[in-house]
Amino acid sequence: MFVKFICCDVFTRIACDLVSKSPHIIDLEFVPMLSHVEPDKLRDIIREKLEKAVNESGRKYEAIMLGFGLCGNAITGLSCSIPMVIPRAHDCCTVFMGSKENFIAAFGDVLSARWCSTGYFERTMTEESGYPLMDQQASYKTSAEYMKYLEDNDEETADYLWETMHPKIEADESVYIKIDGFEYSDSLVQFKSMIEKENKQLRIVDGNVSLLKALIDGTWDDNKFQVVPPGKKVVGVYDMEYVIKAED
């Protein structure tokens, strides 16, 4: 199979390794993590790359894989003339954890938890990244309470209601997602030092590459991935089972 993989650069180390071992022929292209700061801008960037891959590259791809989650609705509304394959994930935290189930087990009770990983640290939390230093949080948009707000309101109003009901509280704990085989840099050491200077505790949880591996290897189980048929568009579901769907 000949496919295009448009991927957030937060997964650079993992994606490059897995693509090199995939049974398929894959053209890999990264999008800077900084684009997530403005979801509408990120959507435009991905849409442009989709159009170029199909209409300008001269390549005859059988499908285009997206290495993104819902990412603040950045992928909603996207469509393509060839199939797109997208993980059923709210954001990169789920992808780093390897599954929705692992994400819930680690963050289900602490959706506002600050977290980090090697890829996230390298791309957003160092001066060398060229980005403003950023902190990540597990997505409160996976909670049943938030989804209830969203049933009766638009996203902006739902966000306001959540923030009103859940004022930010300084947490005593931060989480580092450690993925064996990909801890090449000293990101964990640096992040631990940052946390200790703030007099906070560090909790290390085990992540894995299984979700990205399944995407790259082409084993697109419906429970893990949404295959968007040609002409259909991505729509947010905002639950913990499907996350996204495809519709006209």
Question: For residue 25, what are the CA distances in angstroms to 4, 186, 227?
Answer: 9, 32, 19
Q: What integer best gives the mean pLDDT of the chain? A: 88
In this prediction, residue 167 carries a pLDDT of 60
CA atoms within 13 A on the CB side of 220: 15
Give the other-Cβ count within 10 Å of 183's Cβ.
15
Same domain, 104 and 121: yes
Give the mean model confidence (pLDDT) for residues 29-38.
81
155-205 pLDDT, tens digit each: 788 877 777 766 655 567 899 999 999 998 899 999 999 889 988 899 999
Give the mean model confidence (pLDDT) for residues 115-143.
67
Domain that holds residue 101: 94-206
Same domain, 216 and 234: yes
Give the mean model confidence (pLDDT) for residues 16-45.
90
Nearest 5°: CA angle at 109, between 15 and 139?
A: 45
Query: Residue 179's closest CA among 208, 138, 210, 204?
Result: 208
Same domain, 183 and 197: yes
40-94 pLDDT, tens digit each: 899 999 999 999 999 998 999 999 999 999 988 899 999 999 999 999 998 899 9
CA separation for the pair 51, 46 (Å, rounded): 9
Same domain, 183 and 240: no
In this prediction, residue 132 carries a pLDDT of 46
Same domain, 171 and 195: yes
Same domain, 199 and 99: yes
Domain count, the chain: 2
Same domain, 117 and 202: yes
Q: Does the structure show a pLDDT above 50 at 6?
A: yes
Same domain, 233 and 192: no
